Structure 1
Amino acid sequence: MTQPPPPPPNQPPDPQGGFGAPTPPPQDPGYGHPQQSGPGYGYPQQPPADQGYGYPQQPPTAPYGYPGQPQPPQPDQGYGYPTQPQQPQAPYGYPTQPQPQYGAYPPVPPPAPGGGKKLSAQLQIVIAAAVAVALIVGFGIWYANSDGSEEAKGPDGTTQGPATGGGDTGGKGGGGGGGKEKVPANTQAKVAYKIDIPKVPDVTDVSGSWITDKAFVKPGLDSLVAYDLDKGGVLWTLPLTGQMCGASRHVSADGKLPILFEATKRVAPRYFQPCTQVGVVDLNTGKLVWSDAVSVGDDKARLSEVTLSGTTVAAGGTDGGAAFDLASGNPRWKPKDEGDRCYDLGYGGGPALVAVRKCGTYDNPSVLIQNLDPVSGKPLSQFKMPAGVKYASVVSSKPLVVAADVGESAGDGSGISDFFSIDETTGKLKAKITADAEQYAARCRTTQVESCTQALVGNGKLYVPTEEHEGSTGEYGSETNEIIAFDLATGRMAPEKADAGDQYTFVPMRMDGANIIAYKEAPYDKGGRIVSVDGATMKETLLLENPADKTSQNPERSFSLNGADLRYQDGRFFLSDNLISKPRESSTGSKDYLLVSFAVPR
């Protein structure tokens, strides 16, 4: 359950301390570090210098949604791959067509010069049907064995191997309503306030944000700060011994938030301290209820993340896992060395407590997913991840959905090649959904257990957005995407989907009952939108639209999508940064902010 392994020999020190595994450095940085980011919200990409948008490269690429170039059959392709190509039925009512082999796509005429002319209606129908079928192929489905075996079987029949944000769970059943968010009388928002980036000596992680009835709470420099919801004034500041280095996605009903922080302040030249302290903050009063550290031998355990389930605060890292009582801070369990080279890397919280447990060596690891009794820490059920999985992320604890990059096959830094729908009571696999990383936009930090974004679970479904792709006109700037749903019991793609529309891109944020709350990244001449998407029909309802004037657009677009927290509640939309450094102001007058709030009239 919580035993740490001996440290690997001859390994370099972890440059981020408790943020990740000490061997070798992971692709994804630790707490507070955004993914590789591009331009801010709403800015169009630069068109190619030598060709007009839409011209194929050499060789020409398939249209969006098609699998890649045809490949010869490969024997024993490995866990989760189909042995022979299936003939899936096209969704959305399209007629069934004879399908090419897995990995192939039908020939399509090259686009007309200029990329702006429409295809004939007949050709559009043919292409649309092929794309719909390819989406099923591209997001392959693997079903659990009929005998309910909890272990994944490899190509030779042997057992292979022992993730908001994302992970919010919605209502049960067929969706359709039940959310708390209501449509405001006036959905046109204005900038409520802006908070400047504080002075910091070096790059500083300030990940996370939380909303109470009165405050928007955000990490600061060696502190946690609460801002008035409507005016942005500071309501309280909680000084800490060092920088926050982790915090729970889950808050108790009475406003208690588990956090991680450093024991001392960072100093030059290294500007680093290990992440060793765990505590609980009362978000209503700004008081630190309790704090503690976990001992491993003569040292303090380095922690990388913390979560909450019921009354249990659970923290994990490469030194193992520990748990505490939420109210008192009394220990419930600590790391133990039982000689089996296993340890709890981290936990997924919420309605259940799930441990991601690592065993073995870095080069030959095995990963277990354990549903725990949150009081005793004893496993209630267990699922062995397939061979080739070094890390796993809990997308949702109940229903239990886990994401992993099997064999490091994702290739795009998303940390996801597959989603696993697991029966949390028995530990048996219900369905494995293989995600094409080039088509779907959900992400998980590789070494973080509860870090997935843009993957939501509710209504017995997994909701994920597609990657941005060419819009219906085929013209430059028409890029868009969709939200697709998959049944957790069968892995099948649902026929309904939400279409963002040309020039808009969905960013799923959280579940609201049976509905999806999503941000819609807007074109350059519009403001971003917050919408509620019905989890059953996938029809959207506008909740908030930001202003389109440049004075309002510049703050919204100063945030990079991969490095920001997005929160919406009761007609208020907050954008806040996760990683700050010395404030920047460009020659055009644009400026970076720690936090920007938009709100509809009240």
Structure 2
Amino acid sequence: MSYPPPPAPGTPQGFGPPPAGFGPAIPPMPTTPPTNVPPPASRRARLWPGAVAIIAGATLVFGCGGWYLTSGDSSGSGGKPAANASKGADGNDGGHAEPAAPPSAKVLFNQYAPKASSDGDRVFGEWLTDKVYAKTGVKEITGYDRASGTQLWKLPLPTQVCFTTPQSTADGVTVIAYDDEKKPTFEGVGVCTNIAAFNITTGKMLWHTSTPVLGVSADGTGDRNLSVAEIAISGGTAAVGGGPDGGAAWDTATGKLLWKPTANADNCQDDGYAGGPALVAVRRCGDYARPTLSVQTLDPATGQPLSTYKVSSAFRDMHVLSSKPLVVGGSPGEGSGAKVSDIYSVDEKTGKELAHIAFPDEKYAIDCKGEVGTCLGPLAGGGKLFLPTTDHDNASPDVPGHTNEFVAFDLATGKPAPGRADAGDGRKLFPIRMDGNNVIALRTPPYQGRSAVISIDGTTLKQTALMGLPNDDKVLNQVLPSFGIRADDLLYDKGRLYIGDRLTNKSNDEIDGPHYLFAVLGTS
């Protein structure tokens, strides 16, 4: 696909003709909604108990503090991001008692994934507004009616998406990064240097541009574009972290470049950003191997620090587990596999440390890899930090598999909060998002049992079953394993669970047959 040079920074692209090279958001053909028929018979039959692993693997990607959509109004007006799900009625009598059966879900609509061209076509990214569910495909993003599943629009892209964020602005705009089509790819992976903003409700491309060309960066290199490593949105600003290359930010409405990496006498750069209700940066100064780190709450419009928290020299990397309340985690080790060993709650207005939570022997499941604001596992709200524990043996040695539980800590004192939410023998709990002061989580089933979406009360840690995924539904048994060996996105809102694929895989398709790009589950 030919693709013109990006517009000059600050040039609006949302008025008049759409950007050349992308084409308009294509209106749908007069088709029926996606069906919920099972895949062809060529797919290898697998039972729902085998799908326990799929959900387990899937939720480690979406499950941590990452799913944030600014709440819309209750009128259902278009363009507003979807509001948080509401809490259901009590379904059990305690944090670890056997729950009552929740309403059973069924597949409402779904779509098959396009035929994979390699073993790594990237299709991650999904978003919700009051009216639209949008999902990334191969070199495209498509919007579907939330009620019926009918296609509403399709937005072509010149290359594959390389980074997305689940965050969006109050008027339903999000930002993606995609490969530079002028640069060659290596095993299907390109150079991630182009970004674009689009409206989730309409599919309209607002603007697109290339990342800034670097001068001399923190790692001593230059004369190349900033390579995107993560995207964070807060207010009307989209900030892109590039690790040792520094960070840049754009106005989401106009595409105006707000700031870019700039070397100074102290050799300081932003490692990356966390977004949502606040914009937070981790800033690294000095030698990259022996840095001085700080965590700064920024003014989204200017990038100027509103407060600064000075990080102990014991840590090599710092991660933002929650932007508001501000909770950060430090890793003393090296590399993307280094584990968080200590957590701190911080007053975002003053930068003052409030409480310290130390971790005994990696007891809690936190996965931060190399990014600043996309850690998986922790959720914060209502003055507490909620953490899933790592897997451990069941209480009964006769039950196969492992289990875990949710615990909470007081962010003002760092002390453990009373109670816990047990998954139960052979079950596991995985976080999806906060719902006010409560936690929305997925509880996987024991062998031949029921999975469920649950709400964990933020005060008592008692569990309420919101929606069950039964093991005896023929369509579910065939849809859910389609997501089994991939790390998939999950969203839960207004009684519906949205499961989106992240990678297509040619080798697996040749063995198992076509799989699903997404499936939407609900009780009605």
Shift of 1:191: 1.7
Asked if structure 2 preserves the Cα contact closer than 8 Å seen for 1:505 and 1:520, the reply is: yes
1:246 aligns with 2:163: yes
1:212 aligns with 2:111: no
For 1:128-147, list aligned pairs within 5 A: none
Q: 1:216 to 1:437 in 2, by over 3 A?
A: farther
For residue 255 of structure 1, the aligned residue among 159, 172, 182 is 172
Q: 1:313 to 1:585 in 2, by over 3 A?
A: closer
Where does residue 240 of structure 2 map in the other structure? 315
After TM superposition, the structure 1 stretch with the greater mean CA deviation from structure 2, 434-443 or 348-357, is 434-443
Letter in 2 for 1:306: I
Asked if structure 1 preserves the Cα contact closer than 8 Å seen for 2:388 and 2:407, the reply is: yes
Where does residue 462 of structure 2 map in the other structure? 539
Asked if structure 2 preserves the Cα contact closer than 8 Å seen for 1:193 and 1:598, the reply is: yes
Where does residue 274 of structure 2 map in the other structure? 348
Where does residue 489 of structure 1 map in the other structure? 412
Superimposed CA distance per residue, residues 350-370 of structure 1 (whole angstroms, 9 cap, x where no aligned partner): 121111112233432232211
Superimposed CA distance per residue, residues 482-532 of structure 1 (whole angstroms, 9 cap, x where no aligned partner): 110001111100012111222221101100111111011112313421011
For residue 296 of structure 1, the aligned residue among 214, 219, 237 is 214
Q: 2: distance between equivalents of 1:208 and 1:582? A: 20
For 1:229-240, list aligned pairs within 5 A: 229-240=146-157
Unmatched tracts of structure 1, length 5 or more: 1-38, 45-162, 171-177
**TM-score using structure 2 length:** 0.76
For residue 42 of structure 1, the aligned residue among 41, 52, 59 is 52
Where does residue 402 of structure 1 map in the other structure? 328
Where does residue 445 of structure 2 map in the other structure? 522
Q: 1:414 to 1:199 in 2, by over 3 A?
A: farther
Letter in 1 for 2:312: P
Q: 1:549 to 1:573 in 2, by over 3 A?
A: same
Q: 1: distance between equivalents of 2:316 and 2:502? A: 26
Q: 1: distance between equivalents of 2:53 and 2:376? A: 21
Where does residue 370 of structure 1 map in the other structure? 296
Shift of 1:180: 4.0
Shift of 1:268: 6.2
Q: 1:196 to 1:415 in 2, by over 3 A?
A: farther
Q: 2: distance between equivalents of 1:345 and 1:201? A: 33
Q: 1:340 to 1:389 in 2, by over 3 A?
A: same
Q: 2: distance between equivalents of 1:286 and 1:182? A: 31
**TM-score using structure 1 length:** 0.67
Shift of 1:600: 0.6
For 1:13-412, list aligned pairs within 5 A: 41-43=51-53, 164-166=63-65, 180-183=85-88, 187-202=103-118, 203-264=120-181, 270-293=187-210, 294-297=212-215, 298-317=223-242, 318-408=244-334
Q: Of the two, which has the highest radius of gyration? A: 1
Shift of 1:562: 7.2
Q: Does the residue aligned with 1:584 lie in a helix, a strand or coil?
A: helix
Q: 2: distance between equivalents of 1:562 and 1:490? A: 38
Q: 1:364 to 1:562 in 2, by over 3 A?
A: farther
Superimposed CA distance per residue, residues 86-136 of structure 1 (whole angstroms, 9 cap, x where no aligned partner): xxxxxxxxxxxxxxxxxxxxxxxxxxxxxxxxxxxxxxxxxxxxxxxxxxx
1:465 aligns with 2:388: yes
Asked if structure 2 preserves the Cα contact closer than 8 Å seen for 1:321 and 1:343, the reply is: yes
Shift of 1:543: 0.9
Q: Does the residue aligned with 1:407 lie in a helix, a strand or coil?
A: coil
Q: Does the residue aligned with 1:380 lie in a helix, a strand or coil?
A: strand
Where does residue 45 of structure 2 map in the other structure? none
Letter in 2 for 1:166: G
Q: 1:429 to 1:165 in 2, by over 3 A?
A: same
Where does residue 565 of structure 1 map in the other structure? 489
Superimposed CA distance per residue, residues 24-82 of structure 1 (whole angstroms, 9 cap, x where no aligned partner): xxxxxxxxxxxxxxx964159xxxxxxxxxxxxxxxxxxxxxxxxxxxxxxxxxxxxxx
Asked if structure 1 preserves the Cα contact closer than 8 Å seen for 2:102 and 2:465, the reply is: no
Asked if structure 1 preserves the Cα contact closer than 8 Å seen for 2:170 and 2:235, the reply is: no
Asked if structure 2 preserves the Cα contact closer than 8 Å seen for 1:301 and 1:319, the reply is: yes
Q: 2: distance between equivalents of 1:585 and 1:168? A: 29
Where does residue 354 of structure 2 map in the other structure? 430
Q: Does the residue aligned with 1:306 lie in a helix, a strand or coil?
A: strand
Shift of 1:229: 2.8
Asked if structure 1 preserves the Cα contact closer than 8 Å seen for 2:423 and 2:429, the reply is: yes
| Percent of residue pairs bearing the same amino acid type | 39
Q: 2: distance between equivalents of 1:529 and 1:354? A: 34
Superimposed CA distance per residue, residues 306-349 of structure 1 (whole angstroms, 9 cap, x where no aligned partner): 11111122112032211222211112212212232221121111
Aligned-pair RMSD on alpha carbons?
A: 2.9
Q: Does the residue aligned with 1:526 lie in a helix, a strand or coil?
A: coil
Q: Does the residue aligned with 2:196 lie in a helix, a strand or coil?
A: strand
Shift of 1:230: 4.5
Asked if structure 2 preserves the Cα contact closer than 8 Å seen for 1:182 and 1:570, the reply is: no
Q: 2: distance between equivalents of 1:388 and 1:582? A: 44
Letter in 2 for 1:401: V
Q: Does the residue aligned with 1:493 lie in a helix, a strand or coil?
A: coil
Q: 2: distance between equivalents of 1:562 and 1:330? A: 36
Q: 2: distance between equivalents of 1:238 and 1:169? A: 23
Q: Does the residue aligned with 1:332 lie in a helix, a strand or coil?
A: strand
Asked if structure 1 preserves the Cα contact closer than 8 Å seen for 2:115 and 2:514, the reply is: no
Shift of 1:585: 5.2
Where does residue 498 of structure 2 map in the other structure? 574
Shift of 1:269: 5.8
Letter in 2 for 1:189: A
Q: Does the residue aligned with 2:322 lie in a helix, a strand or coil?
A: strand
Superimposed CA distance per residue, residues 457-476 of structure 1 (whole angstroms, 9 cap, x where no aligned partner): 00111101112222232223
Asked if structure 2 preserves the Cα contact closer than 8 Å seen for 1:169 and 1:457, the reply is: no
Shift of 1:226: 1.9
Q: Does the residue aligned with 1:432 lie in a helix, a strand or coil?
A: strand
Q: 2: distance between equivalents of 1:227 and 1:354? A: 32
For 1:417-456, list aligned pairs within 5 A: 417-436=341-360, 438-445=362-369, 447-456=370-379
How many aligned positions are there? 434
Asked if structure 2 preserves the Cα contact closer than 8 Å seen for 1:164 and 1:452, the reply is: no
Unmatched tracts of structure 2, length 5 or more: 1-48, 55-61, 70-82, 90-100, 216-222
Where does residue 480 of structure 1 map in the other structure? 403
Where does residue 58 of structure 2 map in the other structure? none
Q: Does the residue aligned with 1:281 lie in a helix, a strand or coil?
A: strand
Where does residue 22 of structure 1 map in the other structure? none
